[in-house]
Amino acid sequence: MGLRADAALALLLALGLHGAALALIAERPGAGSTAAGDGGADLVTIAPVSGEVAALIATWEAPPQVSPSVPDVPELVAVPDPVPDLPPDLAAQVALPVAQMAAVPDAPVLPDVLPTMTPPPVMDAPPPPDLAPVAQVSPDLRPKPRPKPDPEPAPKAETKPKPERTPKPAPVPAAQAAGSGDGGAVGQAGQAQAGTADSAGMQDALTAWGADIRGRIERKKTYPRAADGATGVVTLVITVTPQGALVAVSVAASSGNPVLDAAAVQAVQSARLPRGPAGIDPAGHSFRFRLRYER
């Protein structure tokens, strides 16, 4: 138990003994009492302390005897005596043997003068072989040079005949043809020229209309996945009314692949065709064109 716990226990015992002593003193009535206060109402009894009580109080007030706790002292370990230095003679005996290096032989001394090298013997060149004398060819036996061919005469420039000028036709009067003097008949030459101009204008209008139709079909053309990389050209014939309605479509020349042919017909049917120029047959006009499919 610690010192603080012992001191607290001693203090509690002292307080308890003091309280018991005061209780014993208060139980004795009339011993050394003196009235005090208003009308002697307060009564305090004072009596001398007996020897037993004094001894008991002294015992209570005495501090408790606490035995000091002595910590355990560790056992001392014996330290060996230091080893004395060895004498020089013994140190020499105990010294480790040192390996001696083997003696390196001296390198051989090279002579100051190098030995002279004897040159190789010179071989005499063999004499040249005797050449046979060259036979001289007489001038009569020599081949005669080939005669040079005569130069061909330069071709004469052809003169182109001058184109003959065709006389311009006399202007045909656009007035009336020969007839009565009242001018009721119209000349046939004027009607022919008017008909030619009308047909040329209609042909230009049909060409422009067909190009517009082809462009719209090309925009609707898509390569089918089922064709699997096949290529080909499909020739189509279509008939369109002046209002732009599709009357008929057919394959005039196949590409060799039915998938590509069907894709070309589908492109025509899905395209929105433009209206045609005025003066076209109400039953419709036919066009022929080709669609090329490449992957």
pLDDT digit string, tens, across residues 170-224:
443 333 333 333 433 333 334 444 445 578 888 999 999 999 999 999 999 999 9
CB atoms within 10 A of CB 237: 14
Q: Is the pLDDT of residue 241 over 50?
A: yes
Average pLDDT of the segment spanning 232-236:
95
Q: Is the pLDDT of residue 127 over 90?
A: no
Domain parsing of the chain, residue ranges: 3-36+43-61, 203-293
Average pLDDT of the segment spanning 42-47:
53
CATH number for the region 203-293 comes to 3.30.1150.10
Average pLDDT of the segment spanning 96-112:
61
Confidence of residue 143 (pLDDT cuts 50, 70, 90): low
CA-CA distance, 62 to 55, in Å (whole number)? Answer: 11
Tokens at 30, concatenated = 């009339």
The count of residues in the chain is 295
Average pLDDT of the segment spanning 103-111:
63
Q: Is the pLDDT of residue 113 over 90?
A: no
Higher-confidence residue of 119 and 34: namely 119
The DSSP annotation for the chain comes to --HHHHHHHHHHHHHHHHHHHHHHHHTS-STTEEEESGGG-EEEE--PPPHHHHHHHHHHHSPPP-PPPPPPPPPPPPPPPPPPPPPHHHHHHHSPPPPPPPPPPPPPPPPSSPPPPPPPPPPPPPPPPPPPPPPPPPTTTSPPPPPPPPPPPPPPPPPPPPPPPPPPPPPPPSS--S--TT--SPPHHHHHHHHHHHHHHHHHHHHHHHHHHHHHHHHH----GGGTT--EEEEEEEEE-TTS-EEEEEEEE--S-HHHHHHHHHHHHHS-PPPPPTT--TT-EEEEEEEEE--
Average pLDDT of the segment spanning 81-90:
59
Higher-confidence residue of 114 and 1: namely 114
Q: Is the pLDDT of residue 169 over 70?
A: no
Q: Give me the chain's average pLDDT, please.
A: 70
Q: Would you state the pLDDT for residue 24?
A: 74
Average pLDDT of the segment spanning 151-156:
60
Q: Would you state the pLDDT for residue 271?
A: 92
Q: Would you state the pLDDT for residue 182?
A: 41
Average pLDDT of the segment spanning 57-71:
66
Strand ranges of the sheet holding 246-253, from the earlier edge strand across to the other edge: 246-253, 232-240, 285-293
Higher-confidence residue of 78 and 98: namely 78
